[in-house]
Amino acid sequence: MLFSKQLQGHLIALITIVIWATTFISTKLLLIDFQPIEILFLRFLLGYITLWLICPRRFPWQGIKRESIFIGAGFSGITCYFLCENTALTYTTASNVGVIASLCPVLTGVLAIYFLNAEKPSKPFYFGCLFAIIGIALISFNGKFVLALNPLGDILALCACLFWSCYSILTKKSSNYGYPTILLTRRFFFYGLVFMLPMLYLLNFEWQLSRFSKADNLFNLIFLGVGASALCFASWNYAVKLLGAVKISIYIYLIPIFTIIAAVIILNESLTWIAVVGTLFTLTGVVLSENKIKIRKKSQPE
Protein backbone atom coordinates (compact mmCIF):
# COMPACT_ATOMS: atom_id res chain seq x y z
CA MET A 1 0.00 0.00 0.00
CA LEU A 2 1.41 3.35 -1.07
CA PHE A 3 -0.04 5.25 1.90
CA SER A 4 -1.03 4.01 5.32
CA LYS A 5 -4.66 4.50 6.36
CA GLN A 6 -3.58 7.17 8.83
CA LEU A 7 -1.74 9.13 6.13
CA GLN A 8 -4.64 8.70 3.73
CA GLY A 9 -6.99 10.09 6.35
CA HIS A 10 -4.80 13.15 6.97
CA LEU A 11 -4.39 13.90 3.25
CA ILE A 12 -8.11 13.53 2.57
CA ALA A 13 -8.97 15.74 5.56
CA LEU A 14 -6.50 18.41 4.45
CA ILE A 15 -7.80 18.52 0.86
CA THR A 16 -11.38 18.65 2.13
CA ILE A 17 -10.59 21.55 4.45
CA VAL A 18 -8.88 23.50 1.65
CA ILE A 19 -12.02 23.20 -0.50
CA TRP A 20 -14.34 24.05 2.38
CA ALA A 21 -12.27 27.11 3.19
CA THR A 22 -12.88 28.51 -0.31
CA THR A 23 -16.65 28.17 0.00
CA PHE A 24 -16.61 31.54 1.78
CA ILE A 25 -15.86 33.25 -1.52
CA SER A 26 -18.51 31.34 -3.50
CA THR A 27 -21.15 31.95 -0.84
CA LYS A 28 -20.27 35.64 -0.66
CA LEU A 29 -20.76 36.00 -4.42
CA LEU A 30 -24.05 34.07 -4.36
CA LEU A 31 -25.45 36.23 -1.55
CA ILE A 32 -25.80 39.04 -4.08
CA ASP A 33 -28.74 37.23 -5.72
CA PHE A 34 -29.71 34.49 -3.22
CA GLN A 35 -30.86 34.30 0.39
CA PRO A 36 -28.82 32.13 2.81
CA ILE A 37 -31.59 29.48 3.02
CA GLU A 38 -31.80 29.36 -0.78
CA ILE A 39 -28.07 28.76 -1.09
CA LEU A 40 -28.22 26.12 1.64
CA PHE A 41 -31.13 24.17 0.16
CA LEU A 42 -29.95 24.34 -3.46
CA ARG A 43 -26.42 23.38 -2.41
CA PHE A 44 -27.45 20.21 -0.64
CA LEU A 45 -30.18 19.31 -3.14
CA LEU A 46 -27.54 19.39 -5.87
CA GLY A 47 -25.18 17.44 -3.62
CA TYR A 48 -27.83 14.80 -2.94
CA ILE A 49 -28.49 14.34 -6.66
CA THR A 50 -24.74 14.13 -7.32
CA LEU A 51 -24.31 11.36 -4.77
CA TRP A 52 -27.11 9.39 -6.46
CA LEU A 53 -25.32 9.75 -9.80
CA ILE A 54 -22.00 8.67 -8.31
CA CYS A 55 -23.49 5.65 -6.56
CA PRO A 56 -27.01 4.79 -7.84
CA ARG A 57 -27.35 1.94 -5.38
CA ARG A 58 -30.43 1.68 -3.21
CA PHE A 59 -29.73 2.00 0.51
CA PRO A 60 -32.56 0.16 2.29
CA TRP A 61 -34.01 1.01 5.67
CA GLN A 62 -31.56 -0.07 8.36
CA GLY A 63 -33.87 -0.30 11.34
CA ILE A 64 -35.09 2.37 13.71
CA LYS A 65 -32.01 2.34 15.94
CA ARG A 66 -29.46 2.94 13.19
CA GLU A 67 -31.74 5.21 11.18
CA SER A 68 -32.14 7.36 14.29
CA ILE A 69 -28.39 7.94 14.25
CA PHE A 70 -28.54 8.86 10.54
CA ILE A 71 -31.43 11.24 11.22
CA GLY A 72 -29.46 12.85 14.02
CA ALA A 73 -26.46 13.34 11.75
CA GLY A 74 -28.56 14.94 9.00
CA PHE A 75 -30.39 17.15 11.47
CA SER A 76 -27.29 18.30 13.35
CA GLY A 77 -24.60 18.50 10.67
CA ILE A 78 -26.61 19.51 7.60
CA THR A 79 -29.66 21.48 8.73
CA CYS A 80 -28.87 22.91 12.16
CA TYR A 81 -25.15 23.62 11.77
CA PHE A 82 -25.48 25.66 8.59
CA LEU A 83 -28.70 27.41 9.60
CA CYS A 84 -27.29 28.42 12.98
CA GLU A 85 -24.00 29.61 11.52
CA ASN A 86 -25.59 31.58 8.69
CA THR A 87 -28.18 33.13 10.97
CA ALA A 88 -25.56 33.97 13.60
CA LEU A 89 -23.71 36.07 11.03
CA THR A 90 -26.80 38.26 10.65
CA TYR A 91 -26.81 39.09 14.37
CA THR A 92 -23.15 39.20 15.34
CA THR A 93 -19.75 39.79 13.77
CA ALA A 94 -17.80 37.26 11.75
CA SER A 95 -15.00 37.65 14.32
CA ASN A 96 -17.24 36.44 17.11
CA VAL A 97 -18.50 33.48 15.06
CA GLY A 98 -14.94 32.55 14.07
CA VAL A 99 -13.73 32.53 17.65
CA ILE A 100 -16.70 30.56 18.95
CA ALA A 101 -16.51 28.02 16.09
CA SER A 102 -12.96 27.18 17.13
CA LEU A 103 -14.46 25.40 20.14
CA CYS A 104 -15.65 22.53 17.89
CA PRO A 105 -12.69 20.19 18.60
CA VAL A 106 -12.96 20.83 22.35
CA LEU A 107 -16.67 20.04 22.39
CA THR A 108 -16.08 17.00 20.16
CA GLY A 109 -13.47 15.75 22.61
CA VAL A 110 -15.85 16.18 25.54
CA LEU A 111 -18.72 14.45 23.73
CA ALA A 112 -16.40 11.60 22.67
CA ILE A 113 -15.71 10.81 26.33
CA TYR A 114 -19.40 10.14 26.95
CA PHE A 115 -20.59 8.78 23.59
CA LEU A 116 -17.55 7.10 22.00
CA ASN A 117 -16.06 5.56 25.15
CA ALA A 118 -12.97 7.72 24.72
CA GLU A 119 -10.25 8.19 27.26
CA LYS A 120 -9.98 11.61 28.83
CA PRO A 121 -7.64 13.83 26.80
CA SER A 122 -4.24 14.67 28.23
CA LYS A 123 -2.98 18.16 29.02
CA PRO A 124 -1.28 18.72 25.61
CA PHE A 125 -4.70 18.41 23.95
CA TYR A 126 -6.09 21.31 25.99
CA PHE A 127 -2.91 23.38 25.53
CA GLY A 128 -3.21 22.78 21.79
CA CYS A 129 -6.83 23.87 21.81
CA LEU A 130 -5.91 27.00 23.74
CA PHE A 131 -3.17 27.89 21.26
CA ALA A 132 -5.55 27.30 18.34
CA ILE A 133 -8.31 29.41 19.88
CA ILE A 134 -5.84 32.28 20.39
CA GLY A 135 -4.73 31.88 16.79
CA ILE A 136 -8.30 31.88 15.50
CA ALA A 137 -9.04 35.01 17.56
CA LEU A 138 -6.07 36.86 16.04
CA ILE A 139 -7.03 35.76 12.52
CA SER A 140 -10.67 36.72 13.03
CA PHE A 141 -9.95 40.15 14.49
CA ASN A 142 -7.18 40.74 11.91
CA GLY A 143 -6.19 44.09 13.34
CA LYS A 144 -9.67 45.08 14.57
CA PHE A 145 -9.62 44.43 18.29
CA VAL A 146 -13.28 45.20 18.84
CA LEU A 147 -15.37 42.36 20.22
CA ALA A 148 -18.97 43.51 20.08
CA LEU A 149 -21.01 41.06 22.08
CA ASN A 150 -24.48 40.16 20.82
CA PRO A 151 -26.07 37.44 22.97
CA LEU A 152 -28.41 36.04 20.32
CA GLY A 153 -25.78 35.84 17.57
CA ASP A 154 -23.11 34.42 19.87
CA ILE A 155 -25.49 31.82 21.29
CA LEU A 156 -26.43 30.74 17.76
CA ALA A 157 -22.73 30.45 16.85
CA LEU A 158 -22.14 28.32 19.95
CA CYS A 159 -25.13 26.16 18.98
CA ALA A 160 -23.63 25.70 15.50
CA CYS A 161 -20.39 24.57 17.11
CA LEU A 162 -22.25 22.08 19.29
CA PHE A 163 -24.24 20.75 16.33
CA TRP A 164 -21.06 20.11 14.34
CA SER A 165 -19.55 18.26 17.30
CA CYS A 166 -22.69 16.10 17.49
CA TYR A 167 -22.42 15.45 13.75
CA SER A 168 -18.80 14.33 14.15
CA ILE A 169 -19.75 11.89 16.90
CA LEU A 170 -22.73 10.51 14.96
CA THR A 171 -20.73 10.05 11.74
CA LYS A 172 -18.10 8.14 13.69
CA LYS A 173 -20.76 5.88 15.21
CA SER A 174 -22.31 5.42 11.75
CA SER A 175 -18.96 4.51 10.20
CA ASN A 176 -18.64 1.62 12.67
CA TYR A 177 -21.50 -0.16 10.90
CA GLY A 178 -19.39 -0.71 7.80
CA TYR A 179 -21.69 0.93 5.24
CA PRO A 180 -20.21 2.60 2.12
CA THR A 181 -19.31 6.21 2.86
CA ILE A 182 -21.21 7.65 -0.12
CA LEU A 183 -24.43 5.85 0.82
CA LEU A 184 -24.17 7.09 4.39
CA THR A 185 -23.47 10.65 3.28
CA ARG A 186 -26.42 10.53 0.89
CA ARG A 187 -28.67 9.39 3.72
CA PHE A 188 -27.43 12.27 5.90
CA PHE A 189 -28.15 14.73 3.07
CA PHE A 190 -31.65 13.31 2.62
CA TYR A 191 -32.60 13.79 6.26
CA GLY A 192 -30.97 17.22 6.30
CA LEU A 193 -33.04 18.30 3.28
CA VAL A 194 -36.22 16.96 4.90
CA PHE A 195 -35.61 19.08 7.98
CA MET A 196 -34.96 22.14 5.76
CA LEU A 197 -38.38 21.96 4.10
CA PRO A 198 -40.29 23.84 6.84
CA MET A 199 -37.59 26.53 6.77
CA LEU A 200 -38.19 27.15 3.06
CA TYR A 201 -41.71 28.36 3.81
CA LEU A 202 -40.79 30.29 6.95
CA LEU A 203 -37.86 32.10 5.30
CA ASN A 204 -39.62 32.86 1.99
CA PHE A 205 -37.65 30.61 -0.33
CA GLU A 206 -37.99 31.59 -4.01
CA TRP A 207 -36.85 29.77 -7.14
CA GLN A 208 -36.52 32.74 -9.56
CA LEU A 209 -34.97 30.68 -12.36
CA SER A 210 -33.62 33.79 -14.08
CA ARG A 211 -30.84 33.91 -11.49
CA PHE A 212 -29.47 30.61 -12.80
CA SER A 213 -28.84 32.14 -16.21
CA LYS A 214 -25.83 33.97 -14.79
CA ALA A 215 -22.66 31.94 -15.34
CA ASP A 216 -21.13 33.00 -12.00
CA ASN A 217 -24.20 31.90 -10.04
CA LEU A 218 -24.34 28.56 -11.83
CA PHE A 219 -20.62 27.89 -11.36
CA ASN A 220 -20.65 28.74 -7.66
CA LEU A 221 -23.74 26.61 -6.99
CA ILE A 222 -22.15 23.66 -8.77
CA PHE A 223 -18.94 24.19 -6.80
CA LEU A 224 -20.83 24.31 -3.49
CA GLY A 225 -23.24 21.48 -4.32
CA VAL A 226 -20.98 19.01 -6.14
CA GLY A 227 -17.55 19.85 -4.75
CA ALA A 228 -18.00 21.28 -1.26
CA SER A 229 -21.11 19.27 -0.36
CA ALA A 230 -21.34 15.93 -2.18
CA LEU A 231 -17.65 15.12 -2.63
CA CYS A 232 -16.28 16.88 0.45
CA PHE A 233 -18.85 15.56 2.91
CA ALA A 234 -18.20 12.06 1.59
CA SER A 235 -14.43 12.54 1.84
CA TRP A 236 -14.77 14.08 5.33
CA ASN A 237 -16.89 11.17 6.56
CA TYR A 238 -14.36 8.74 5.09
CA ALA A 239 -11.54 10.58 6.86
CA VAL A 240 -13.54 10.38 10.11
CA LYS A 241 -13.73 6.63 9.56
CA LEU A 242 -9.94 6.42 9.15
CA LEU A 243 -8.84 8.86 11.87
CA GLY A 244 -11.70 9.22 14.35
CA ALA A 245 -14.05 12.11 15.16
CA VAL A 246 -11.78 13.86 17.68
CA LYS A 247 -8.49 13.71 15.80
CA ILE A 248 -9.98 14.92 12.52
CA SER A 249 -11.88 17.77 14.18
CA ILE A 250 -8.53 19.48 14.76
CA TYR A 251 -8.38 20.19 11.02
CA ILE A 252 -11.33 22.58 11.42
CA TYR A 253 -8.79 25.02 12.90
CA LEU A 254 -7.14 25.28 9.47
CA ILE A 255 -10.22 26.61 7.67
CA PRO A 256 -9.60 30.30 8.54
CA ILE A 257 -5.98 29.95 7.41
CA PHE A 258 -6.90 28.73 3.94
CA THR A 259 -9.76 31.21 3.77
CA ILE A 260 -7.30 34.06 4.31
CA ILE A 261 -4.99 32.68 1.62
CA ALA A 262 -7.88 32.37 -0.85
CA ALA A 263 -9.16 35.86 0.00
CA VAL A 264 -5.72 37.38 -0.58
CA ILE A 265 -5.32 35.63 -3.93
CA ILE A 266 -8.87 35.94 -5.29
CA LEU A 267 -10.35 38.96 -3.51
CA ASN A 268 -7.08 40.91 -3.12
CA GLU A 269 -7.61 41.33 0.61
CA SER A 270 -4.67 42.49 2.69
CA LEU A 271 -2.78 40.17 5.04
CA THR A 272 -1.71 41.77 8.32
CA TRP A 273 1.02 40.67 10.70
CA ILE A 274 -1.69 39.79 13.24
CA ALA A 275 -3.16 37.24 10.81
CA VAL A 276 0.32 35.77 10.27
CA VAL A 277 0.86 35.40 14.04
CA GLY A 278 -2.61 33.88 14.35
CA THR A 279 -1.76 31.37 11.65
CA LEU A 280 1.37 30.30 13.55
CA PHE A 281 -0.60 29.94 16.78
CA THR A 282 -3.22 27.84 15.01
CA LEU A 283 -0.68 25.51 13.41
CA THR A 284 1.04 25.10 16.78
CA GLY A 285 -2.30 24.20 18.33
CA VAL A 286 -2.96 21.59 15.65
CA VAL A 287 0.41 19.94 16.32
CA LEU A 288 -0.03 19.95 20.11
CA SER A 289 -3.56 18.56 19.93
CA GLU A 290 -2.70 15.77 17.50
CA ASN A 291 -3.16 12.17 18.67
CA LYS A 292 -4.04 12.93 22.27
CA ILE A 293 -7.33 11.08 22.58
CA LYS A 294 -7.82 7.35 22.21
CA ILE A 295 -11.08 5.56 21.60
CA ARG A 296 -11.57 2.30 23.47
CA LYS A 297 -12.58 -0.29 20.90
CA LYS A 298 -15.77 -2.25 21.39
CA SER A 299 -16.09 -5.83 20.23
CA GLN A 300 -19.13 -5.29 18.00
CA PRO A 301 -21.02 -2.15 16.97
CA GLU A 302 -24.56 -1.99 18.19
What's the pLDDT score for residue 147? 46
pLDDT at 40 over 60: yes
> What is the model's pTM?
0.74
Looking at 15-24, 121-130, 206-215, which range is the least confident one?
A: 121-130
What's the pLDDT score for residue 284? 75
- CA-CA distance, 72 to 19, in Å (whole number)? 25
Higher per-residue pLDDT: 79 or 267: 79
pLDDT class for 74, splitting at 50, 70, 90?
Answer: very high
- CA-CA distance, 138 to 146, in Å (whole number)? 11
pLDDT class for 116, splitting at 50, 70, 90?
Answer: low
CB contact at 8 A, 242 and 8: yes
Mean pLDDT calculated for residue range 45-69: 92
What's the pLDDT score for residue 119? 56
What's the pLDDT score for residue 10? 86
CA distances (Å), 96 to each of 138, 144, 166, 183, 198, in order? Answer: 11, 12, 21, 35, 28
Mean pLDDT calculated for residue range 36-48: 89
